[in-house]
Amino acid sequence: MDTLVQNHLNNQLKDKIQKPNCQTRAGRSLLAFYLQTKFKQIINYDKKSDKQMILEYKKDFLENFTNRLIDRPKDKILIALTGESASGKSTICRKISDCIDILNLPITILTADNYFKDISKEIEKYGNFDLLRDSGYDIDSPKNFDLELLREDVLKLQQGQDIKSPEYLVNGSGKSVAKAIDVKTNKIIIVEGMCSIFDEVQDIFDIRVYIDLDEQERKNRFMNRAKTRNQDELNAIKHWEYILNAGKKYIIPNKSKCDILINGECDLEYFTHMIEYVNLITNNFCEE
């Protein structure tokens, strides 16, 4: 991908095109054709790379997405970023956040895990989070997310409204604080979390991205993470078994709904180059 970026920078002046008039359908169609061409270039480059990032993509994805840009140009772009636990969702989002700061990208990241419903009473009843899980309570079930509120908030962001999202406290208390986090709307909204692809919300997204990683590597990551948090090994194994089964019930069945499958072991430097290149091609216009 660094070759793509460098070639683009070397040829930037001669490659610049006149910015289409996006107030007209013809102008938006021209822009859509340009973006399709460039994204196909990325996909073809990636296929030949030993750092391959894109594992699969739906054949009609580019056409469907660019048609959406033509038909509804004022709507913000909504991207769902999902995958099983320890697949790399948070790591990739941190890398995107770094790029947002460096490149001043018009991107907002909304954490869907904050839409967990308050289960503090249940935890209090059983004594702690682990005992609640061991009782058979299905913590990751879709019914334990406020998907109606998530849908409502994401659609507000899409229409250009700022929101206040809830915050689910990750201190073991199971508490959720309503309207706790200020979230600014932006040109691109990324909603990260396993519930972003559940049936109740997945249809609102323009692009659905699944981070894919084999089970053993995810287990290794999960157990290493548990060590850094001083989590008891036996309890960590119990929780791994729970989230493995939850993934098979609630996440993997939704994999086929996703437009793009990303390699969870993707080289992060390579991923950064990809973001840089996408930023370059989407700003590769002259006004006259």
250 and 181 in a common domain: yes
285 and 179 in a common domain: no
49 and 62 in a common domain: no
**Average pLDDT of every residue of the chain:** 90
121 and 5 in a common domain: no
At 245, which CATH number? 3.40.50.300
- Name the pTM for this structure: 0.91
276 and 249 in a common domain: no
DSSP-derived letter for residue 251 is I
Count of structural domains within the chain: 2
Residue 23: band (very low, low, confident or very high) from pLDDT cuts 50, 70, 90: confident
Q: What is the pLDDT of residue 9?
A: 46
| Residue 11 or 211, more confident | 211
CA distance 95 to 81: 13
Q: pLDDT tens for residues 99-158?
A: 999 989 999 999 999 999 999 999 999 999 999 999 999 999 999 999 999 999 999 999
Packing angle, helices 268-281 and 89-103, rounded to 10: 50
Residues, the chain, total? Answer: 288
187 and 66 in a common domain: yes
CA distance 228 to 197: 29
Q: Tell me which residue has tokens 């004022």.
A: 74
28 and 137 in a common domain: no
274 and 192 in a common domain: no
CA distance 210 to 262: 6
82 neighbors 251 (Cβ within 8 angstroms): yes
83 and 6 in a common domain: no
Using the predicted structure, report yes or no on whether residue 3 has a pLDDT greater than 80: no
Q: pLDDT tens for residues 230-246?
A: 888 999 999 999 999 99
Residue 196: band (very low, low, confident or very high) from pLDDT cuts 50, 70, 90: very high
User: For residue 275, what are the contacts with CB-CB under 8 A and spacing of at least 6?
Assistant: 95, 96, 99, 103, 105
- Name the residue among 24, 53, 22 with its Cα closest to residue 39: 53
Buried b (16+ CB within 10 A) or exposed e, 21-38: eeeeeeebebbbebbeeb
Q: Tell me which residue has tokens 């948090």.
A: 229
User: For residue 200, what are the contacts with CB-CB under 8 A and spacing of at least 6?
Assistant: 142, 147, 148, 151
User: For residue 147, what are the contacts with CB-CB under 8 A and spacing of at least 6?
Assistant: 115, 195, 198, 200, 201
Buried b (16+ CB within 10 A) or exposed e, 163-186: bebbbbeeeeebbbeeeeeebebb
Q: Which residues form the domain of 40?
A: 1-53+267-288
Using the predicted structure, report yes or no on whether residue 43 has a pLDDT greater than 70: yes
157 and 111 in a common domain: yes
223 and 272 in a common domain: no
159 and 94 in a common domain: yes
Q: pLDDT tens for residues 49-88?
A: 888 899 999 989 989 999 998 999 889 999 999 999 999 9
